[in-house]
Amino acid sequence: MMDKNLINSHDRFFKELFSKREEVKEFISKTLPDEITRKLNFDTLEIDTTEYINRRLRTNFSDIVYNCVYGESTQIKISLLFEHKSYPETYPHFQILEYMLGIWQKQLDQGEQLTPIIPILFYHGQKLWNKRPFEKYFESIDETLQKFVPRFDYHFIDLSAFSDQQIKDLFKSIELQIGLLLLKNIYNEQKILQKLKEIFAGIQEILQNEQGEQFFESIVAYLFYSTNLETTKIVEKMREISPKAGEKFISTAMRLKMQGKLEGIEAGIKKVAFTMLKKGYTDQEIIEVTGLTAEQLELLKSLDEYRIDLDDVL
């Protein structure tokens, strides 16, 4: 079973990347078949904030769902499903069908009209995924028996089937380029390090605004939690691309490291200590009241020094 922290890391980055409407619009328009995209009204594309992944499926998938109008007036849902595992799923239709049934059941419970769903499944493992129809799961069934077997499809995106250059050529969005390249290569740490300049060639453009800086922080977090790459090696190469990116990487990595060291401390104790720091209590007084160690207190003081809001570490 995949490590829970790694699942959360993939989940957060995937959702950060595909929560941006314009990026999703470009992605869908360039990856779904023309017979579908020419009937989609992209002006109606809106994110669906309803939670559809149940607890059992959460170990398999992350999802982002968009509502859209198809044709003249047909409401549909486009579900972007990210496969957590680095190896192929033998029977993906089972999980996808369970997921779709959950959406439809929720619609029925809320008295809503049932809507068609287009599932788009992302896979970023290195082993070959054998996509086959649902009926192929069963041996030796004729047309009569096939009537009793569900028939539906999912659109499959195998990131390993794209070269890095193909991803760059296909998408204009720098965020999409970087995000997909990281998702594709996240299990190949040496390749990420070797091709860092190519992957992050457009990072300077992203860092021109606050939204871009937030996305860059999500990139740092993804690398921090999903790889064992040395921060110093990344920073060295990042600085060659953009001095601002190098400094931003350092400050974000420091914050993440401090968060990790503070995770074992109860939120209430952190809050008391942080408040006492603000009010000017001595280190010894804070240690006596909270039970923190001197090292933990120094970390909290560092957070204050770098003006990191307490909410970031609770």
Task: Check whether residue 290 and residue 157 sit in a common domain.
Answer: no
Quick check: is 171 in a domain? Answer: no
pLDDT at residue number 35: 96
pLDDT at residue number 4: 54
Closest CA to 89 of 54, 137, 51: 137
Quick check: is 106 in a domain? Answer: yes
Tokens of 226: 């999903």
Range of the domain at 124: 4-161
Task: Check whether residue 20 and residue 150 sit in a common domain.
Answer: yes
Last residue of a domain, one of 144, 161, 178: 161
Closest CA to 246 of 215, 192, 302, 207: 207
Quick check: is 305 in a domain? Answer: yes
Last residue of a domain, one of 102, 134, 161: 161
Last residue of a domain, one of 161, 190, 223: 161
Task: Check whether residue 9 and residue 144 sit in a common domain.
Answer: yes
Tokens of 155: 């659109």
Quick check: is 239 in a domain? Answer: no
Quick check: is 244 in a domain? Answer: no
Task: Check whether residue 9 and residue 153 sit in a common domain.
Answer: yes
pLDDT at residue number 60: 81
Closest CA to 208 of 245, 161, 238: 245
Quick check: is 278 in a domain? Answer: yes
Cβ contact 79:62 at 8 Å: no
- Sheet order of strands, 155-158 included: 40-48, 61-70, 74-83, 117-123, 155-158
Q: What are phi and psi of 313, to 5 degrees?
A: -120, 0
| pLDDT tens series, the chain, 314 aa | 445 556 688 888 999 999 999 999 999 999 999 999 999 999 999 999 998 998 888 888 889 999 999 999 999 999 999 988 778 999 999 999 999 999 999 999 999 999 999 999 999 888 899 999 999 999 889 989 999 999 999 999 999 899 999 999 999 999 999 999 999 999 898 999 999 999 998 898 989 999 989 999 999 999 988 888 888 888 888 999 989 999 988 888 877 876 666 666 777 887 888 888 888 888 898 888 888 888 778 777 766 443 344 444 44
pLDDT at residue number 5: 59
Alpha helices in 132-282 (DSSP H): 143-146, 164-170, 174-185, 189-194, 196-199, 203-206, 210-226, 231-241, 243-262, 267-279
Quick check: is 122 in a domain? Answer: yes
Burial 4-35 (b: 16+ CB within 10 A, else e): eeebebbbbbbebbbebeebbbbbbeeebeee
pLDDT at residue number 10: 86
Tokens of 67: 């509502």
Quick check: is 213 in a domain? Answer: no
Task: Check whether residue 138 and residue 18 sit in a common domain.
Answer: yes
Number of structural domains found in the chain = 2
Q: What pTM does this model have?
A: 0.80
> H/E element holding 13?
helix 4-17
Cβ contact 64:47 at 8 Å: yes
